[in-house]
Every structure is written in C-alpha cells, then in structure tokens.
Chain A
Amino acid sequence: MGTHTSIDERYEFSGKIRTWSLIAIVIGVVGVAYGFLAGGDSVQRTFSNLLLMSYYFACVCTAAVFFLAYQYVAQAGWSASILRVPQAIAKVLPIAAVILIIVAAAGLFTTHKVINEEGHEEVMPYLYGHWAAHGLTDPKSEHYDALIAGKSAFLNVPFFFIVIVGLTFLYSLFGHLLVKYSTNEDELGGMFNYNKSFKMSCIFLVIFGFTFPIFAFDAVMSLEAHWFSTMFGWYNLAAMHVSGLAVITLIVLYLRNKGYMQWVTENHLHDLGKLMFAFSIFWTYVWFSQFFLIWYANMPEETVYFYKRWEPEYKWWFWLNIVLNFLAPLLLLMSRDAKRLGGRLKLTAIVILIGHWLDFYLMVMPGTIHRHPGHEVHIWDMYGIQEIFIAVGFVGLLTFFTFNSLSKFKSLLPKKHPFIEESLHHHI
C-alpha cells in the first residue's frame, strides 16, 4: 500500500477488488439461473428480486448524478476533490438503466397462473400484474377492474416504457454531460466548462425533481396498482439519495485506504457523514409522514399497503427497517467526532445500504410474492439463495463498472476545477 500524492494519479483497476467483483457477478448469475430453473414459486421470487436490485442499482447511479448536480448548483467547494467518485458512478447509470428495462420488460411479457384474492385462477405477468394483466381494462372481460381502468391512462404498457426508458435516458444524458464537462475542464481550464455544468445542473434538478416521483410510481408503486400514495415519490427520493451517499462514502473510504486520494481528510469525511446523517433523518421524516397520514385517515384503499406489511412474516422486518435506517445512523453518527472517523462511517454506510435494501424489499415483495394460505413462512422462504445471490451479484456489477469507469479518468482529481484549492484546503 503505497502513498500516491501526485495530483495526476490514475486509478488502476486490478487486484482483489476486480477479482471479487467478478466473482460476485458470477454468484449473481448463478442465483438468477437457480431461481429460474428451480421453477414454481421461485420464478416469481427471482423476478421480484431482480426488479428490487435493478431498481436499487439504477437509484444509486441516479443519486450520483443528483449529487453532482446539487454540488454544482450550490457551487460547493468542499466536494471538488471527490467529484470523480460520483462521476464514475454516474457513468454506470446507462448500464443500470438497460438492466432495469430488461428486467421490467421480461417481467411484463412473461405470464404465469396465480390464485387471486377472490380465489380464482388468473393469468398474470410476473411483474406489474396488478395493472398489466390481460382484460383488466376491458369492460366485457370477467377480469374487468374499474379502478385499474380508471388509471389506465397512466398505467399502460407503452406509457410505462416511455417513462422508464425516457427518464433513465434523461438522467444518464445529464450524468454524461456533467462528466464530459469535467474532463474537458481538465484539458482546457478556465470557467467555460464550469459555467456549463452549473447551467446543466440547474436544468437537471428541475427535471429530476418533477420526474423522479413518476419514475418511482411506475417502477415500484404500480406493483400494487390499487394503492397509491403521493408521498411515495419523495419517500423513494430520500431512500435513493441516502443510499447513493452511502455508496459514495464507501468508495471514497476504500480509495483512501488503498493509498489513493490522500487529499481526502477527515474534514471531507465529516461533510459526507453529515449528509448521510441528515438524509437518514429526512428518509424517516417522509417514511413517517406517509405512514402517519394513512394510519390516521384509516381508509381501506390506503391502509391495505400497511396491512400487508403488518402480516406476521413482514412485521419484524417492518420495524427493523426503522432501526437500520433511522436509529442506527442517528446514534452512530450523532456526535461530531463520529462523523470524522473512517471506521464509524464505513460501518454506518454498510448498515444504511443493507437497511435500504430491506426498505426496497418491503416495497417490492409484499405486492409481488403470493403466499399460499395456511403455509407457514420460514425465514429461508423470505431470505434465500435468490435474495442473497442476486443482491451480491448487483453489488458486484456496481463495484465492477464503477471502478472500471473510475480507472478511465486521466486523473482522480479534477485539477482545473475552479474550487479545487478550496477543496484541498477544506477545513471545518
């Protein structure tokens, strides 16, 4: 482990991290193959897990673009020296988007038979069956569902793909532009590229703020199409943002441990810690706001969401979600000193990432997995090979592609960034 202090240092993607991320991807592929070949209920479970992880993956990459954009709009100085990390993650967004689109399409266009709530057998797609099943919007069909028919202007297959493809494309495009301006800036210097980044970031934030809820409505909320919550978009925004921050922090800490980015001091870590701390509390705030209003109003069409998550098999995990995503960051990062300790930050970031996996799990699973009445649900029915292997596989994908794109940068420091001196001498 040598110390590199040159500002021209390049990241070399090799060694253990490369091997392990490739092994993780193989584990993921094995998990998917096992899930599909095992047949029966396992196929549905594999689809649900694939959707969960590809959505999580796309969210983390989008959060990196979001991070870049608000750093530019705020004209933040402190972050200039770590911008390569979110840039590298932002470059992975197109890959994450393609995976998400493939998973959503595969889930939409393959069908299986399920027993619906009335006890009738019904042919349904694996994913988004609540609105995409055949005949739901046809008044002559026996499956006609007036509620879904009323929502069909929004919940239909072409519009679904317009939203998912269009929005991930837009976010990727802005991510690509912000990275391009930054690398051009390294060649040319001056304020020209910075000003363009500022302008693009402003436009991105406006688009992103209005469209991300729609993205969340389509990708996840529509799994339970009878239910709706206007808080859902913000709730997802908070979750994706805090998990994106945790990934950025973990990568910065890893690089610093490996002897790269020696300019990152405990002051930069303090700022990252503050963001993780604050947005964990923000997540709790929106989570509670959604829960509280539904609980108080007690309208059946709204409470059904929490009713399902209050079933015995989900109840403990429902509470654990709050422990991992609220209590843990609150207590672990409350004091000033804690935010400046690399080890503490690493622990908290890992807890937050696992916590938000559980958070997304609780959004996706109760709406897609059909349990057989009367069967006892074992822990391995909830967290088995499909869950663990597919999650590991996506962690591998994120690691591999992020570090790969990080190694493409000519320098780990955006050395002509106008605020780079401020960032190198950052002190709080």
Chain B
Amino acid sequence: MSSTKFILGHFDDPDDMMHGIEKLQKNSIPIYDVYTPMPIHGIEAKLGVKESRLGYAAFCFGCLGASVIFSIVYYTLVHDWPMNIGGKPNFPMPVFVPFTFEWTILWTAFGMVFTFFAATHLFPGRAPRVMDFRATDDRFIIAVDAKGNIPHEDITNLLKEAGAVEIKHNERKYVSYE
C-alpha cells in the first residue's frame, strides 16, 4: 500500500478538464473535488454537487435580524420609555417598517458572508485549505481520493489520456494546515 492520499490531475484547459471528469465518471472512479481558478458553468450539475443550502441560512439570518431589531425598538420605544413623537401612537407600525427591513437585509448579507466563510474555512485567522496552490492561478485540478480499491496507475493513465499536463500523488491532503 502506497502512502499516496490524493491524486491530483492538473489541466491547463477547462475543456480538457471537463473531458477528464467524464472519463473518470465513465470508469466509475469517484471524484473527490475539482478546483478551478474561475467559475466553470455547469460543473455543479456534472459533478452532482448538491444544491447550496446558503439560501436557508440567509432566510434564518434575515428572520433573526428582523426579530432582534424589532425587540430592541419595541423594548426601548414602546415598553420601557414611551415617547410622544409627532402625536403618533406609542406603537406606530409604519415606523417599524424601515429599520426592520434594513436589519433583515443587513443580517442576511452578513450572515451569508459568515456562513460562507465558516463553511469554506476562510475565516480570518485560519489557514485556508488548499490542495494545490496553482488551482488559484492557472491550473484546473481534479482531485481523486486515492484510498479506494482502484489501482493508482489506472487513475493516472486515465487523467493523462484526458490531457492532464501534470499528475501529482500527494501524501498530505492539504498543502496548508491550520
């Protein structure tokens, strides 16, 4: 048993990489993930990536933002210290609309950013999880988990046939660890 943990196929062309994905899928080799320097249209569908649940997080953060500011203003302006502003009732609903709306948007936006950072380990102070630095520059990389029963040479050959310019057998999952 070799100590290789991941096999990375480097491509310098996105079309070759898409071809490589097809080839691996045709041979029933599970793909761990694919890293590209730019978004590639339709790649999620091809890899069968589950639909993002970021929208649900956004909804929850929006509801949270709305209820937080509503409670604060209700407590301060209605319950604790009612004031007469322009002869309006003490609990004027139209007044509550703008800031509730603003806080919904604000918390949705911040919440989504924080959720995204947390899910992708991009939080400040944490080392980003990168399998190969060139994926952030000029290479399109297919990562295959090497722990399966498939012989490593077969995977290497398939990637080469598809047009990989470089194939790495990595013993560590990430280049960087926190």
A427 contacts which of B42, B55, B95 (Cβ < 8 Å)?
B42
Structural contact, A296 and B97, CB atoms closer than 8 A:
no
Question: Nearest B residue to A297 by beta-carbon distance?
Answer: B86
Residues of B within 8 A of A335 (CB): 55
Whole-angstrom distance from the CB of A386 to the nearest CB of chain B?
34
In the bound complex, what is the Cα–Cα distance between A298 and B86 (angstroms)? 9
> CA A291 – CA B42 in complex, angstroms?
45
Question: With A296-B86, A298-B86, A298-B87 known to touch, is A291 a contact of B94 (CB < 8 Å)?
Answer: yes
Q: Is A288 an interface residue (CB 8 A)?
A: yes
Task: Give the distance in Å from the alpha carbon of A292 to the alpha carbon of B88 in the complex.
Answer: 12
Asked if A296 contacts B94 (CB within 8 A), the reply is yes
Q: Which of chain A's residues have a CB closer than 8 A to the CB of B97? A: 288, 292
Taking CB atoms, residues of chain B closer than 8 Å to A120 are none
* B41 adjacent to chain A (CB < 8 Å): yes
Do A336 and B94 have beta carbons less than 8 Å apart? Answer: no
The CA of A336 and the CA of B87, in the complex, are separated in Å by: 44
Question: How far is B42's CA from A295's CA once the two chains are assembled, in angstroms?
Answer: 50
- Which range contains the number of B residues in contact with the other chain? 10 to 19
How far apart are B166's CB and chain A's nearest CB, in angstroms? 31
Query: How far, in angstroms, from A288 to B95 measured CA to CA in the complex?
Result: 11
Query: Can you list, as one digit per residue, whether each of B111-152 has a CB less than 8 Å from chain A (1) or not (0)?
Result: 000000000000000000000000000000000000000000
Instruction: Please state if B94 and A292 are interface contacts (CB–CB under 8 Å).
Output: yes
Contacts of A336 in B (CB 8 A): 55
Question: In the complex, what residues of B have CB within 8 A of residue A427's CB?
Answer: 41-42
Residue-wise interface mask of A (397-428) relative to B, using a CB-CB cutoff of 8 A (1 in contact, 0 not)? 00000000000000000000000000000010
- What 0/1 pattern do residues 321 to 351 of A give for CB contact below 8 A with B? 0000000000000011000000000000000
Closest chain A residue to B42, Cβ basis:
A427
List residues of chain A with CB within 8 A of the CB of B48: none
B50 to chain A, nearest CB (A): 14
Q: Which A-chain residue is minimally distant from B52 (CB atoms)?
A: A336
CB closest chain-A residue, reference B97: A288
Residue of B nearest to A336 (CB): B55
A425 nearest in chain B by CB position:
B41
Residues from chain B with Cβ under 8 Å of A295 in the complex? 94
Cα-based distance from A336 to B51 in the complex (angstroms):
11
- The A contact surface, by secondary structure, is helix
Alpha-carbon distance A288/B97, docked complex (angstroms):
9
Which chain B residue has the least Cβ–Cβ distance from A292? B94
A-side contacts of B86, CB under 8 Å: 296, 298
CA distance A336 to B95 in the complex (A): 31
Tell me if B39 counts as interface (CB < 8 A to partner A): no
List residues of A (275-294) whose CB comes within 8 Å of B's CBs. 288, 291-292
User: What CA separation (Å) do A298 and B95 show in the bound complex?
Assistant: 13
Contact bitstring B49-81, A, C-beta under 8 A = 1, else 0: 000000100000000000000000000000000
> Nearest B residue to A337 by beta-carbon distance?
B51
Give the chain A neighbours of B98 by CB distance below 8 A. 292
CA distance A186 to B9 in the complex (A): 46
Whole-angstrom CA separation of A292 from B87 in the bound complex: 15
Contacts of A288 in B (CB 8 A): 94, 97
When chains A and B are docked, how far (Å) is the Cα of A401 from the Cα of B94? 43
Task: Kindly list chain A residues whose C-beta atoms are within 8 Å of the C-beta of B42.
Answer: 427
Interface residues of B in 16-63 (CB under 8 A from A): 41-42, 55
Which residues from B are CB-within-8-Å of A296?
86, 88, 94-95
Chain A residues 292-326 with CB under 8 Å of chain B are: 292, 295-296, 298
Give the docked Cα–Cα distance between A296 and B98 (Å).
13
Q: Which residues of B contact A292 (CB under 8 A)?
A: 94, 97-98
Q: Roughly how many angstroms separate A291 CA and B94 CA in the complex, as a whole number?
A: 9
Q: List residues 83-102 of chain B with CB under 8 A from any CB of chain A.
A: 86-88, 94-95, 97-98
Residues of B within 8 A of A298 (CB): 86-87
In whole angstroms, how far apart are the Cα atoms of A296 and B95 in the complex? 8
Which residue in chain B gives the minimum CB-CB distance to A291? Answer: B94
A295 to B94, alpha carbons, bound, how many Å? 9
List the A residue with the shortest CB-CB distance to B45.
Answer: A427
- Nearest CB on B from A339, distance (A): 12
A67 CA / B171 CA spacing, docked (Å): 56
State the CA gap A182–B42 with chains docked (Å): 31
* Per-position binary interface string of chain A over residues 76-114, scored 1 when its CB falls under 8 Å from any chain B CB and 0 otherwise: 000000000000000000000000000000000000000
5 contacts between A and B (CB under 8 A): A292-B94, A292-B97, A295-B94, A298-B86, A427-B42
Sorted nearest first, the 6 A-B pairs with minimum C-beta distance are A292-B94, A295-B94, A288-B97, A427-B42, A296-B86, A427-B41
Q: Give chain A's interface residues, CB within 8 Å of chain B.
A: 288, 291-292, 295-296, 298, 335-336, 427
Besides the contacts A298-B86, A427-B42, what 9 more A-B pairs have beta carbons closer than 8 Å?
A: A292-B97, A295-B94, A296-B86, A296-B88, A296-B94, A296-B95, A298-B87, A336-B55, A427-B41
